[in-house]
Amino acid sequence: MDISTLQSLYRDSKLHPVALVEEIYDRIEADGLHPVWISLVPKTENLARAQELASAGSVDTLPLFGMPFAVKDNIDVAGLPTTAGCPAYAYQPVTTATAVQRLLDAGAILIGKTNLDQFATGLVGTRSPHGACSSVFNPLYISGGSSSGSAVAVAKGLVSFSLGTDTAGSGRVPAAFNQIVGLKPTRGALSTTGVVPACRTLDCVSIFAETCADAAKVFSTAQAFDAVDSYSRDSKTMSPRAWDITSFRFGVPRPEQLEFFGDSDSAISFAKSIQSLETLGGTKVEIDFAPFRAAANLLYSGAWVAERLAAIGSFLSDHASEIDPTVYKIIAGAERFTAVDAFQATYKLEELRRVTAKVWDVIDLLLLPTVPRTYTIAEVQAAPIETNTNLGYYTNFVNLLDLAAVAAPAGLKSSGLPFGVSLIAPAFSEASLLLTADSLHRKLTATISASARKLSETPALEAQKRPPETMPIAVVGAHLTGQPLNWQLTERHGKLLATTKTSREYRLYALPNSTPAKPGLLYEPGFEGPGIEVEVWALPIETVGSFLAMIPPPLAIGSLRLESGEIVKGFLCEPAGLAGAKEITHLRGWRNYISQL
């Protein structure tokens, strides 16, 4: 059910959208509505939509043409009730949530709305009057929550992708328990207009998909600044954090800070994940995980629980008997917090943000188990608060610290249950997170979820030529990787795009009286040299000015032609600055010259 496969079938006329819709509804009827679904778009409506899409012949113009999807039932869809998993709370929305509408406009077909932990309060998937979803690998084990139905709908192959929400890990935990991809974007990257809030300041719309490539496609389609959403953020004003996915640094907690709550299988699987990421070019860096845990503890033991009470207001007291007992206990507990408590918690969080921000100077991403262990439905029912708390050990801090995350499958444990890891980095790092996660997913997992379909038969996620909102800059000497001024690029979150050569019209000189030693590159029309080695780096637009300010004369940034014919900005030298310089063009690059000194 992955997007690429369906698109190919549509293009080759081997599958018609109407036939796919028929098959999906037949499978749902055979399985039963609950516990995965709460409500469905009427079959007749979707058959008509499928026919309309096919008649328009827009398979190559609509990015999600004919792709079936589901949404968590705390997200509005006009024509279907929004219940947040509580029938007494249900209302009929007049408009469709912004993120959902963007997907519909792109040609996707909404099948229906899915089950959840009531009011999106929980990581277990058992707190619903519609029944407890279970892992597709074993019906005795939980599916994870709160976006339980959304994850299971993808894992069962009923839809190509789905939307959930994520405040404490609800878009990641169910992905781990069902061996699918869960993307928790940067807060505000996807509009939350039309979403029933859990914690308004922290909520995210999340994406479940079979592959990172599918998650990336859905994300790029749904992402847009929403002026109606006061928490929406424009990615164009933010610096996208990126790294070279063939050479990067990843953080892991110190050994004594890892916690698996007795699940030795998960500990073994995590060690394998670390080794695999190292073989993909990563360098492991042990970090102090304590400040991240301290931030995580603020979510439920601090005043943010009061946001859950603010979200549903008097409904809690007026309908106490119609609310799941565990959900009621959690939300009602917020009444003990005062405005003073809220401010004190905010001050503490800002301290922890300052402390944890230093970690990103030494790592590019954080690798963690998505969950410490797997629980049975019976274990959760016996200890609903404790088990839920344990499941959030590695997830609860992410939104509080304004980070992005991708939960990726990481193979099966000896028990036959899936294990998953999360790759986490600062806001607007989705592109690089997905690329890295895709490589790790493909290294550790052979099949898609619990099916026999091979992951290798789906297309890998391809890197963009360069990250959005960046400028390519060619460097030739002291800014090359490993050279003394390379830090000026990495400090500004520059990403190495390629090592290549200039076209043949360039001469290279070693400049005199330069500290550190630097070369000068001179363009000479008609000259036919060997071409000079350069590295092309992508530098976030907002950091380019500060970088240029550090370039001393006679060096300057001008237009430079690469051997491919592409023209990029790069280092050149003023001719007057070459007085007394030694020509080293024949050595073909600065590194070769340095090696001879």
Using 50, 70 and 90 to split pLDDT, how confident is the model at 494? confident
Q: Exposed e or buried b for every residue in 561-579, given b needs 16+ CB within 10 A?
A: bbeeeeebbbbbbeeebbe
CA gap 90, 400 in Å, rounded: 29
**For the structural domain made of 470-596, what CATH number should be given?**
3.10.490.10
State the pLDDT at residue 143.
98
CB 41 within 8 A of CB 112: yes
Higher pLDDT, 301 or 76: 76
Q: Which residue has the tokens 């309060």?
A: 121
Is residue 456 packed enough to be buried (19+ CB in 10 Å), middle (13-18) or exposed (0-12)?
Answer: exposed
Q: CATH 3.90.1300.10 region(s) of the chain?
A: 3-457
State the pLDDT at residue 377.
98
Residue whose C-alpha is closest to residue 4's, from 179, 205, 218: 218
Q: In what order do the strands lie in the sheet with 161-166?
A: 37-40, 109-114, 68-72, 161-166, 204-209, 181-184, 403-412, 418-426, 365-369, 248-253, 282-287
State the pLDDT at residue 497.
83
In sequence order, the 6+-apart residues with CB closer than 8 A to the CB of 14 are: 8
Average pLDDT, the chain: 94
Higher pLDDT, 216 or 238: 216
CA gap 240, 220 in Å, rounded: 14
pLDDT, tens digit (0-9, with 9 covering 90-100), for 310-325 = 999 889 989 999 999 9
Q: Strands 418-426 and 181-184: what pairing?
A: unpaired
pLDDT, tens digit (0-9, with 9 covering 90-100), for 123-178 = 999 999 999 999 999 999 999 999 999 999 999 999 999 999 999 999 999 999 99
Token output for 191: 């509009």
pLDDT, tens digit (0-9, with 9 covering 90-100), for 433-472 = 999 999 999 999 999 999 999 999 999 998 766 666 789 9
pLDDT for 239 beyond 60: no
Residue 405, H or E segment: strand 403-412
Catalytic residues: 72, 146, 170
pLDDT for 247 beyond 90: no
Over range 79-102, report the average pLDDT. Answer: 98
Other Cβ atoms closer than 10 A to 93: 16
Q: CA 155: distance to chain centroid?
A: 18
pLDDT, tens digit (0-9, with 9 covering 90-100), for 333-385 = 888 999 999 999 999 999 999 999 999 999 999 999 999 999 999 999 999 99
Decide yes or no: CATH 2.60.120.1570 for domain 3-457: no
- HSE (side-chain half, CA atoms, 13 Å) at 200: 11
338: amino acid identity, one letter: T
CB 173 within 8 A of CB 144: yes
State the pLDDT at residue 551.
94
State the pLDDT at residue 234.
86
CA gap 236, 248 in Å, rounded: 25
The greatest distance separating any two alpha carbons of the chain, rounded to the nearest whole angstrom, comes to 88
State the pLDDT at residue 241.
65
State the pLDDT at residue 35.
97
Residue whose C-alpha is closest to residue 571's, from 595, 597, 514, 596: 514
pLDDT for 417 beyond 80: yes
Q: CATH 3.10.490.10 region(s) of the chain?
A: 470-596
CA gap 339, 545 in Å, rounded: 42
CB 164 within 8 A of CB 171: yes
